[in-house]
Amino acid sequence: EIVMTQSPATLSVSPGERATLSCRASESLGNLAWYQQKPGQAPRLLIFAASTRATGTPARFSGSASGTEFTLTISSLQSEDFAVYYCQQYSNWPPTFGQGTKVEIK
Amino acid sequence: EVQLVESGGGLVQPGGSLRLSCATSGFTFSGYEINWVRQAPGKGLEWVSYISTTGSTIYYADSVKGRFSISRDNAKNSVFLQMNSLRAEDTAVYYCARDEYYYQYWGQGTLVTVSS
């Protein structure tokens, strides 16, 4: 199965600053999604197809891809953006998730 | 409004069984694939199982293969996960999630605790 590795595990950012989250796949793939999860809530789809924002995802969230490296960028962190973010590949079965990046207030 | 509501979780002893349900509304259920995804306490997300629109195609994670069984009833807009031979490592919140590849809609989850 494809292994997804996210970095860093924790990212400390001040409100208004830019956050850059990374996700690396163990092999080349073309289909990746990003989710946001807040405590006690189900995950929320943010991005699919590596760079397409899901319905309702604010424009400050953007996704990009380069080979096996994928990036989620939050251009200017808002208070509601502090959460855990997961990447998920859906190119090959089984679908696999990264271990998550926690974005916390600095 | 699209809704998925899980039920059936609870405390079960190792080796026991549970049947989870995912009741849906707000969309044409028979036209969508459904997955189960779980999350152990304080851990990340793990895909568990997938069922196609007609139930003709089913996949399982290796960690549950041979112990879990997914099914659906398109007349009742529901999906089920029969979990047998439960182990401590199956303890998690179980979510049902709509769609084949990435998951636009999720339920709120149901907690399964496997402990003696």
Q: Choose the closest CB to B101 out of A31, A96, A97.
A: A31
Tell me which chain B residue has its CA closest to the CA of residue A87.
B45
pLDDT tens column, B52-84: 999 999 999 999 999 999 999 999 999 999 999
CB-based contact, B103 to chain A, within 8 Å: yes
Kindly tell me the burial class for residue B91, based on how many C-beta atoms sit within 10 Å of its own C-beta (0-12, 13-18, 19 or more). Answer: middle
Q: How far is A22 from chain B (nearest CA, A)?
A: 16
CA angle (B70 as vertex; B39, A35 as ends), nearest 5 = 35
CB-based contact, B17 to chain A, within 8 Å: no
Q: Choose the closest CB to A96 out of B47, B102, B104.
A: B47
Q: Choose the closest CB to A48 out of B46, B102, B109.
A: B102
Per-residue pLDDT of chain A (106 residues; tens, 9 = 90+): 999 999 999 999 999 999 999 999 999 888 999 999 999 999 999 999 999 999 999 999 999 999 899 999 999 999 999 999 999 999 999 999 999 999 999 8
In chain A, which among 38-57 make CB contacts under 8 A with chain B?
41-45, 48, 54-55
Which of A51, A90, A91, A101 is the best residue to mutate to test the B interface, defined by the most B CB atoms within 10 Å of its own CB?
Answer: A90
Tell whether the model's pLDDT for residue B88 goes beyond 90.
yes
- Asked if residue B2 lies in contact with residue B99, where contact means CB atoms within 8 angstroms, the answer is no
pLDDT tens column, A84-96: 999 999 999 999 9
Q: Give the whole-angstrom CA distance, residue B62 versus residue B51.
A: 15
CB-based contact, B45 to chain A, within 8 Å: yes
- Asked if residue B57 lies in contact with residue B81, where contact means CB atoms within 8 angstroms, the answer is no
